[in-house]
């Protein structure tokens, strides 16, 4: 088989594979319809937890749930699915307040890479940042 024909077959095969992934929903990003959906999805993995407040990001790809002092629940979209976690300040390697409406989180969990989260309300961004701030061993703010 000639090299040009082989190259054409490889290019066609790759294009076909990418199209198949796209048309079967592989490039879809899930969004959270509202606080009820975030609570329901979180309850599937953590039925014993009772979140007090749900804070959705502006793009509705993540929700942060208040679980009490120094604990937060997270529902975050990964592709067309949702990942849920309970995190404490000790689970966060770095937390940066980018501006009054957004924060960046880098967890020490290799299964969730964190990211930049923008909120529609400044109070929501401050509350999430405060819940995930570093604590020393006595539980006092560092």
Q: Are residues 17 and 55 in the same domain?
A: no
Residue 15: domain span: 1-28
Specify whether the CB–CB gap between 105 and 119 falls below 8 A: no
Bridge-partner residues for 76, per DSSP?
Answer: 62, 83
pTM (two decimals): 0.76
Judge whether 137 lies within some domain: no
pLDDT at residue 142 tops 50 = no
pLDDT in tens, 45-100: 999 999 989 999 999 999 999 998 888 999 999 888 899 999 999 999 999 998 99
Co-location of 12 and 61 in the same domain: no
Query: Does residue 14 surpass a pLDDT of 70?
Result: yes
H helix intervals, the chain: 3-23, 35-45, 122-131
């Amino acid at each position: 088989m000639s090299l040009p024909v082989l190259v054409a077959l490889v290019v066609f095969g790759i294009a076909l594979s990418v199209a198949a992934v796209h048309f079967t929903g592989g490039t879809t990003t899930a969004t959270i319809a509202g606080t009820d959906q975030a609570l329901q999805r979180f309850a599937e993995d953590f039925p014993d937890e009772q979140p007090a407040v749900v804070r959705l990001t502006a793009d509705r790809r993540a929700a942060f749930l208040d679980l009490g002092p120094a604990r937060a629940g997270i529902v975050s979209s990964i592709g067309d699915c949702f990942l849920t976690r309970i995190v404490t300040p000790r689970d966060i390697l770095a937390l940066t307040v980018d501006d009054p409406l957004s924060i960046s989180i880098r967890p020490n969990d290799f299964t969730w890479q964190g990211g930049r989260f923008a909120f529609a309300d400044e109070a929501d961004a401050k509350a999430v940042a405060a819940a995930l701030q570093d604590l020393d061993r006595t539980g006092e703010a560092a």
